[in-house]
Amino acid sequence: MTLVAILSGAGISTDSGIPDYRGPNGLWRRDPEAEKLVTYDYYMADPEIRRRSWRMRLDGPVLHAEPNIAHRAIAEFERGGSPVRVITQNVDGLHQLAGVSARKVFELHGTARTVVCTRCHARSPMADALERVRAGEADPPCTACGGILKSATVMFGQPLDPVVLGEAMGIAKACEVFIAVGTSLQVQPAASLAGIAVEHGGRLIVMNADPTPYDELADEIVREPIGTALPSLLERLRASSGTA
């Protein structure tokens, strides 16, 4: 059966109420200063940046968001017996909430649902840290060692987890179909996975509202809304691979 790799970006989660970063209504366009809140050096050096970051997490949509029809379509595709791996640039955990097996989701940029201590590397639920913020701790320290806590996401200035990236590259090399959905394919090294898939004989499908640097390599380009286009595409792939 055909192995399908799906690289998902912010565009797949906008229907869940999570804004993208670089689009017309993206976070960076609305508040250029917001980028500092997710830049490692600023975050570690400035307590006020950390306090603003915690307030942003408290008010942000990520932990309240629900999977949308596109997330659920991927989960249904997996449940139908189709071999699929999801490589995501998102940190919202919505693929897993939709029902995709956690072991088949590779989070290149980490997860916003967990916090990690920058000193002792202890991990704990983001929800617990946010309860402390609500109770009055503006910049809650690690309960184990007193170190600075941050979300378990890859901030600007931090490297990707080499293990996760290596697994993603292996998937890109092995897949027969590589779908880039809701991603501008401008952020490296994630974007390079599309090129790796093509180099190793994979068929590239780009599903994004705007042109990407990898469109010229694509076998198929889809500009329709993801909520309708992705379920339709996955159904077509399921039928053609004989797993319907």
Active site residues: 109
Name the token pair of 27: 């976070």
Max Cα–Cα distance, the chain, nearest Å: 56
Q: What is the DSSP string of 141-173?
A: BPTTT--BEEEEE--BTSPPPHHHHHHHHHHHH
Name the token pair of 238: 């399921």
Q: Give which of 98, 86, 94 is closest to 111, Cα–Cα.
A: 94
Q: Give which of 58, 17, 50, 52 is closest to 31, Cα–Cα.
A: 52
| Helix residue spans in the chain (DSSP H) | 27-30, 34-37, 40-45, 47-59, 69-79, 94-98, 126-134, 162-174, 192-199, 226-241
